[in-house]
Amino acid sequence: MNTLVQSGEFEYWEKGQGSPLIILHGLMGDISNFHDQVEYFSSVGYRVLVPHLPLYSMPLPTTSVKSLTQWVKKFVDHLKIEKATFLGNSLGGHIALIFQKMYPTRTHGLVLFGSSGLYESAMGNTYPRRGDYNYIEERIKDVFFQKNVVTKELVDEVFAIVNDRMKAIKTLAISKSAIRHNMAEDLPSFNVPVCLIWGKQDTVTPPDVAVKFHELLPQSELHWIDECGHAAMMEHPQEFNRILEQWLKTHIPQEEKA
């Protein structure tokens, strides 16, 4: 089990040494979603960091994808990381894209899987009904093709969020700011290698979203995982890690893995 590091205002997992991989979780996600990636990549020459994004601790007027991106910049500055590869699922991918736009000299590459930034479908296209545990559980299961990854702990976490009034309001604020920050016009100018890893059965950011990302990003590779929904790193961790490791070996300079 990974131990949380507390440093200043930041709470994060860190394991391994080498070229930094910074993994960003989604709006309804958590750093625990990336256990398999932390364990594997920290063992093969990478410094893996997964910060706990302050989704619910920022003041409401500044709760947005842009302010979350600026927080990530503070995080890498705090750790004195000059350049890193950013990995992001769902909202985390969107933050990685905005980070690339705002701070292009600080990235080696981007890895996006089920990323927002172009189009995403909310849970049932409306905010989940508060107080209805079974409804929440079914909506979460809709996100995954592999239903066995939906644990009671995961459902409990989401249920707690949607039944906390302020967290629910901030969740909606972030969702709306993500829709406003559509990246379509920015992506063609990105001068950075990008790895797209997508579930063929993703219903939140469907396959045509991955195809559009691939068309717009000039240095992108698109990899599909079958029988997989919105969270490839959880549903098919070994296949996900295999694709990612091969891409990293090709695109992240060996001398960076000091």
CATH of the domain at 90: 3.40.50.1820
With a cut of 60, say whether residue 66 has pLDDT above it: yes
In the structure encoding, which two tokens stand for residue 219, read together? 């240095």
What pLDDT shows up at residue 123? 44
Rounded Cα distance between 172 and 164, Å, is 12
In the structure encoding, which two tokens stand for residue 161, read together? 């969020």
Q: Which pLDDT band holds residue 122 (cuts at 50, 70, 90)?
A: low
Q: In what order do the strands lie in the sheet with 5-7?
A: 5-7, 10-15, 46-51, 19-24, 84-89, 107-113, 194-199, 220-225
The answer to whether residue 234 is domain-embedded is yes
Strands (E), 90-203: 107-113, 194-199
How confident is the prediction for the chain on average, in pLDDT?
A: 90
Q: Which residues contact 224 (CB under 8 A, 6 or more apart)?
A: 198, 199, 200, 207, 210
With a cut of 60, say whether residue 124 has pLDDT above it: no
How many CB atoms are located within 10 Å of the residue 226 CB?
A: 10
Query: What is the count of structural domains for the chain?
Result: 1
Strands (E), 68-151: 84-89, 107-113
pTM over 0.75: yes
The answer to whether residue 113 is domain-embedded is yes
What pLDDT shows up at residue 3? 75
How many CB atoms are located within 10 Å of the residue 154 CB?
A: 20
Q: Which pLDDT band holds residue 126 (cuts at 50, 70, 90)?
A: very low
pLDDT tens digits along 20-50 = 999 999 888 888 899 999 999 999 999 999 9
Range of the domain at 21: 5-120+178-256
Residue 204 one-letter amino acid: V
The answer to whether residue 112 is domain-embedded is yes
What pLDDT shows up at residue 80? 96
With a cut of 90, say whether residue 18 has pLDDT above it: yes
The answer to whether residue 128 is domain-embedded is no
The mean pLDDT value for 93-111 works out to 97
The answer to whether residue 58 is domain-embedded is yes
With a cut of 50, say whether residue 81 has pLDDT above it: yes
Rounded Cα distance between 177 and 179, Å, is 5
The answer to whether residue 182 is domain-embedded is yes
Rounded Cα distance between 39 and 179, Å, is 33
How many CB atoms are located within 10 Å of the residue 185 CB?
A: 8
pLDDT tens digits along 207-240 = 999 999 999 999 999 999 999 999 999 999 999 9
Q: Which pLDDT band holds residue 135 (cuts at 50, 70, 90)?
A: confident
With a cut of 50, say whether residue 103 has pLDDT above it: yes
Rounded Cα distance between 140 and 74, Å, is 32
The answer to whether residue 71 is domain-embedded is yes
The answer to whether residue 141 is domain-embedded is no
